[in-house]
């Protein structure tokens, strides 16, 4: 429900703060007093586009803020979906800056207008004669019938299965469309895969292979250099080994004189040990050297294959070639198993079709049972609202395709007078009749579902007398389960409200502003008397006003 409304610097409103209660609230005022301004401000909170002309003072920002009690609305899931902080007392704020820029906030979190509209549609339904066009839309007509049919769970189940069905159908269509292309690529992918498989990439160490190639390709030079190195180390008298032994002998003679000399001796001893190890390793490497033209050719051939594959696939490592090989294996396997995959998709699709048909049948049957009940309720209410000859015919037909809300088409036909024929609501009902039909439907829906706060904006235009009493009574009953506002010119309806607000203009320092105030009991009697008799209030108007209020 709408708890509070704050408007600042909007159109003719300087500053307005008002609290609302649950139940049935009446808003009245002279023509041109600013009721449309009030609705315009509220519409901004609900996501209507803003423009700079709506700012009263061009040097200050315009602010409209509304607080809603949403404890009964079951909206936690929507808040999560919109990435918003949930609060049972939710505050929506719109700001229009002097620059013309507009900002929106939900519980102080900046939001887009799309998010604002998504939430506000669950909070307030502003209804006027212009909004009765909703009645002629198939989707809304289905919502009415489904509410009476109790189809909520069936429709949720259907929607989930339909989403799965569309996903699988899309995948199947993509597979079938790409089948010809995949078959064209199959031979080429198989050839590439064979190339990569034949060189056994898993067992190749490219660094070792390149090292082996360099060794075999330069064996003579390596042998010569190792031999020369061995000679430099081991030649008698002039070799490094003999020279190092001489150094050791010299240092050993003074090592006992000082720790420094002993440390030098130890270091030379370490060098001698390392040099002997190097000599042994050089001799071993020299002995292992083999001239093998066949092995050299084999390794060279392997390397050339790998380098060519690097160039063909525009990569630099065998790891990247392995990734390409895995991708090719998957593509080839997918193509080889394509028919099997398509068959699997078709089986899943067939199973989902069966489930969808079953749920759609439940939805259809529930609708068929609800239609006579809806027609009966509508005709009873419309009889009370001065349309005793109003008749409805609602025809439900099955279709072959899966629609958004089942497998039905709907024809909502209406006849206003005896002797006329059934036709669509758009053709058969006048504006005033559409308003009464909408009121009847909203009244019925309020019995079956939690509706948002509803604001009837002069829905009673063209109605008077006993019919206005009935309209007021219907709104009063609706307000027992929801918050209802009625902007009205009829005293019969105004008298039935739990609370009464008056919109009025006043001049101050040659500036006209619009205000809204809650009427006390005495003010309310005067206001209803004005509505009954005009500006000149008579005793009979006062008495009549008291009678209506009582």
What's the pLDDT tens digit per position in 524-545?
Answer: 999 999 998 877 888 898 999 9
Residue 255 resides in a domain: yes
What value does the mean pLDDT take over residues 80-100?
91
CA 364 – CA 359 distance, rounded (Å): 9
CA 292 – CA 217 distance, rounded (Å): 9
Grouping H, G, I as helix, E, B as strand and the rest as coil, residue 505 is: strand
Mean pLDDT of the chain: 87
Pair 432, 463: CB distance under 8 Å: yes
Please measure the distance between the N-terminal and C-terminal CA atoms of the chain and give it in whole angstroms.
Answer: 27
Residues 319 and 185 in one domain: yes
Q: What is the pLDDT of residues 237-274, one digit of tens each?
A: 778 888 888 888 888 888 888 899 899 989 999 998 99
Residues 208 and 102 in one domain: no
Q: Which domain holds residue 83?
A: 1-123+452-519
Q: What is the pLDDT of residues 457-466, one digit of tens each?
A: 888 877 777 8
The backbone torsions φ and ψ at residue 199, rounded to the nearest 5 degrees and listed phi first, read -90, 0
Residue 142 resides in a domain: no
Residue 425 resides in a domain: no
Residue 387 resides in a domain: no
Domain boundary among 309, 336, 363: 336
Residue 381 resides in a domain: no
Token pair listed for 71: 């404890």
CA 335 – CA 486 distance, rounded (Å): 66
CA 467 – CA 448 distance, rounded (Å): 25
Q: Name the strand (E) or helix (H) holding 110.
A: strand 109-110
**Residue with token string 């389960």:** 481
At residue 513 the predicted structure's pLDDT band, cuts being 50, 70 and 90, is confident
pLDDT at 506 over 90: no
- Altogether, the residues listed in the chain come to a count of 550
CA 243 – CA 268 distance, rounded (Å): 11
| Selected residue with higher pLDDT from 175 and 260 | 260
CA 311 – CA 278 distance, rounded (Å): 41
Question: Which residues, listed in sequence order, are joined to residue 24 by a DSSP beta bridge?
Answer: 484
Contacts 24+ apart (CB under 8 A), 198-205: 199/302, 199/305, 199/306, 199/309, 201/318, 201/321, 201/322, 201/325, 202/322, 204/302, 204/306, 204/318
Domain boundary among 336, 355, 388: 336
Of 341, 356, 447, 454, nearest to 408 by C-alpha is 356
CA 458 – CA 446 distance, rounded (Å): 20
Which of the 8 DSSP states describes residue 14?
A: E
Residues 185 and 308 in one domain: yes
Residues 4 and 105 in one domain: yes
Residues 107 and 202 in one domain: no
At residue 166 the predicted structure's pLDDT band, cuts being 50, 70 and 90, is very high
At residue 475 the predicted structure's pLDDT band, cuts being 50, 70 and 90, is very high
pLDDT at 393 over 90: yes
Pair 117, 44: CB distance under 8 Å: no
pLDDT at 366 over 70: yes
**Residue with token string 């420094």:** 260
Of 398, 400, 437, 396, nearest to 416 by C-alpha is 437
Residue 378 resides in a domain: no
Residues 196 and 93 in one domain: no
CA 409 to chain centroid: 29
Q: SS3 for 376-441, per residue?
A: HHHHHHHHHCCCCCCEEEEEEEEEEEEECCEEEEEEEEEECCCCCCCEEHHHHCCHHHHHHHHHHH
Residues 108 and 188 in one domain: no
Residues 198 and 288 in one domain: yes
At residue 209 the predicted structure's pLDDT band, cuts being 50, 70 and 90, is confident
pLDDT at 300 over 70: yes
Q: Name the strand (E) or helix (H) holding 403.
A: strand 391-403
Residues 27 and 116 in one domain: yes
CA dihedral 92, 98, 100, 106 (to 10 degrees): -10
Pair 175, 341: CB distance under 8 Å: yes
**Residue with token string 């002097």:** 98
CA 397 – CA 289 distance, rounded (Å): 92
CA 104 – CA 120 distance, rounded (Å): 12
Check which CATH number belongs to the domain holding 515 and give it.
Answer: 3.40.50.300
**Residue with token string 């009673």:** 460
pLDDT at 236 over 80: no
Domain boundary among 287, 320, 336: 336
Per-residue pLDDT at 185: 74
Q: What is the pLDDT of residues 20-68, one digit of tens each?
A: 999 999 999 888 778 888 888 888 888 888 777 778 888 889 999 999 9
Nearby residues of 512 by Cβ (< 8 Å), 6 or more positions away: 12, 505, 506
At residue 129 the predicted structure's pLDDT band, cuts being 50, 70 and 90, is low
Pair 104, 64: CB distance under 8 Å: no
Residue 365 resides in a domain: no
Which phi-psi region, left, alpha or beta, contains residue 191 (left: φ > 0; alpha: ψ -120 to 50)?
alpha
Residues 246 and 328 in one domain: yes
Of 32, 39, 36, 34, nearest to 5 by C-alpha is 39
Grouping H, G, I as helix, E, B as strand and the rest as coil, residue 200 is: coil
Crossing angle (nearest 10°) for helices 318-336 and 152-198: 120
CA 519 – CA 30 distance, rounded (Å): 15
Q: How many CB atoms lie within 10 A of CB 506?
A: 10
Nearby residues of 443 by Cβ (< 8 Å), 6 or more positions away: 381, 474, 477, 478
Q: What is the pTM of this model?
A: 0.68
Residues 185 and 316 in one domain: yes
Q: Count the domains in the chain.
A: 2
Pair 445, 439: CB distance under 8 Å: no
Residues 95 and 188 in one domain: no
Residue 394 resides in a domain: no
């Amino acid at each position: 429900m709408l708890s509070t409304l704050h408007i600042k610097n909007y159109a003719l409103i300087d500053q307005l703060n008002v609290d609302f209660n649950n139940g049935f609230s009446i808003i009245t005022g002279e023509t041109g007093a600013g009721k449309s301004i009030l609705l315009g401000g509220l519409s901004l909170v609900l996501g209507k586009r803003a423009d700079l002309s709506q700012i009263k003072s061009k040097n200050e920002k315009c602010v409209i803020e509304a607080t809603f009690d949403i404890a009964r609305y079951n909206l936690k899931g929507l808040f999560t979906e919109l990435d918003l902080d949930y609060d049972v007392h939710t505050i929506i704020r719109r700001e229009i800056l002097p620059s013309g820029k507009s900002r929106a906030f939900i519980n102080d979190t900046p939001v887009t207008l799309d998010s604002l509209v998504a939430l506000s549609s669950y909070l307030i339904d502003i209804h006027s004669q212009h909004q009765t066009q909703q009645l002629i839309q198939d989707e809304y007509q289905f919502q009415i019938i489904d509410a009476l049919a109790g189809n909520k769970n069936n429709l949720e189940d259907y929607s989930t299965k339909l989403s799965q069905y569309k996903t699988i159908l899309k995948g199947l269509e993509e597979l079938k469309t790409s089948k010809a292309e995949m078959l064209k690529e199959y031979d080429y992918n198989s050839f590439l895969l064979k190339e990569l498989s034949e060189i056994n990439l898993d067992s190749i160490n490219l660094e070792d292979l390149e090292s082996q190639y360099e060794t075999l390709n330069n064996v003579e030079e390596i042998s010569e250099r190792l031999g020369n190195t061995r000679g430099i180390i081991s030649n008698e008298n002039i070799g490094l080994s003999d020279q190092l032994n001489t150094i050791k002998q010299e240092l050993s003679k003074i090592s006992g004189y000082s720790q420094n000399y002993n440390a030098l001796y130890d270091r030379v001893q370490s060098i001698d040990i390392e040099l002997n190890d190097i000599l042994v390793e050089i001799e071993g490497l020299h002995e292992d050297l083999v001239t093998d033209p066949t092995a050299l050719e084999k390794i060279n051939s392997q390397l050339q294959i790998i380098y060519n594959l690097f160039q063909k696939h525009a990569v630099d490592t065998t790891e990247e070639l392995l990734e390409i090989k895995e991708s090719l294996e998957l593509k080839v396997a997918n193509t080889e198993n394509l028919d099997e995959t398509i068959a699997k998709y078709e089986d899943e699709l067939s199973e989902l079709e069966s489930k969808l048909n079953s749920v759609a049948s439940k939805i259809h049957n529930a609708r068929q049972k609800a239609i006579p009940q809806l027609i009966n309720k509508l005709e009873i209410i419309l009889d009370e609202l001065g349309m005793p000859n109003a008749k409805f015919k609602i025809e439900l037909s099955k279709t072959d395709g899966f629609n958004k809300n089942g497998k039905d088409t709907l024809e909502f036909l209406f006849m206003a007078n005896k002797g006329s024929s059934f036709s669509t609501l758009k053709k058969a009902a006048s504006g005033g009749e559409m308003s009464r039909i909408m009121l009847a439907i909203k009244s019925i829906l309020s019995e079956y579902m939690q509706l948002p706060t509803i604001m009837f904006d002069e829905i009673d235009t063209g109605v008077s007398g006993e019919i206005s009493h009935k309209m007021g009574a219907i709104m009063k009953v609706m307000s027992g389960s929801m918050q209802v506002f009625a902007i009205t010119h009829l005293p019969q309806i105004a008298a039935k409200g739990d609370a009464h607000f008056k919109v009025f203009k006043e001049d101050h320092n040659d500036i006209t502003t619009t205000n809204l105030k809650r009427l006390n009991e005495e003010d309310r009697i005067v206001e209803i008397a004005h509505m009954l008799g005009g500006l000149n209030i008579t005793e009979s108007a006062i008495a009549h006003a008291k009678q209506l209020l009582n």
